[in-house]
Structure 1
C-alpha cells in the first residue's frame, strides 16, 4: 500500500531560494506548495493545510515568526522549520511555546539538505525506534 506524500509549504520571498528548496524537497518525495509572503502562506495553508511549513523569517509584510505563531493558532498540530539567513537568530519564548526547538532552525545556506529532509520526516512521523 503506497502512502500519500507528506504535504509541505515552503515560504520564502527570494524566488531562487524558494524554488530550489521546493525542487529538492519534491525530489525527496514530498508534495510541496510555495508562498512568497506570510499573507499568501496563510491563505494557502487555510485552504489546504500542510503537515509542515518551512518558513523564512524575513518576509515582506508579516514576518516569518508571526506567520508561524498565526498558523500554529489556526492549525494546531502543524509542524514548522525555520530557514533563515540571520546568523544571530535565536528562538523567542513565543516560538518555543508553539513547539519549536533549536533543532528546527536551519541557517542559509543549508550545507546538507539531507539533514533538513530527515528533520521533516522526524517531526512528521515521530522519532524512530
Structure 2
C-alpha cells in the first residue's frame, strides 16, 4: 500500500480548520494546518505535502495570492479551494494553475465522501 497522502489545511477559522483536520485524519491522511498563508509557507518549507486545501479569504496573504505561490514552489502539489464565498468563480489565472471546478468545495462541505475521494485522487494522472 502507498504512503498516506500528506495534506495541509489552510483556513483562518479555527473550528472549521480543526474539523477538517479531524475528518481527514480519520480517513488516514497525514494532516497539517495553518491559519494563514505565511504560516502555511513556513510549515511547507519543513513538511512536504501532496495536497493543499486553501481558503480564499485569508488574513494577510489571500488565497488568491497564496495559490500561485504554492504552485510555483510545489508544482506537483494538488491545490484545492475551500471557500465560503457563494459567488466564487474559477478565474482563468486559477485555471492556469491546474485548478478545475471539481477542485472547489464550498463551506460547509455537503458531500464529505466526494471531498475525501478528490484528495485520494491527488496526483493521479487520469
Shorter-chain TM-score tier: over 0.9
Aligned-residue CA RMSD (Å): 1.1
Deviations along 1:27-53, one digit per CA (max 9) or x if unpaired, are 001000000000001111122120010
1:80 maps to: 79
Contact kept, 8 Å, 2:84 with 2:107, in 1: the verdict is yes
Q: Which runs of 4+ in 1 moved over 6 A?
A: none
Quote the Cα distance in structure 2 between the aligned partners of 1:105 and 1:83.
Answer: 6
Is the contact between residue 50 and residue 122 of structure 2 (CA under 8 Å) also seen in structure 1? no
Gaps of 5+ in 1: none
C-alpha distance in structure 1 between counterparts of 2:44 and 2:27, whole Å: 21
TM-score, normalising length from structure 1?
Answer: 0.93
Structure 2, unmatched stretches of 5+, are none
Distance 1:29 1:125, change over 3 A: farther
TM-score (norm 2): 0.95
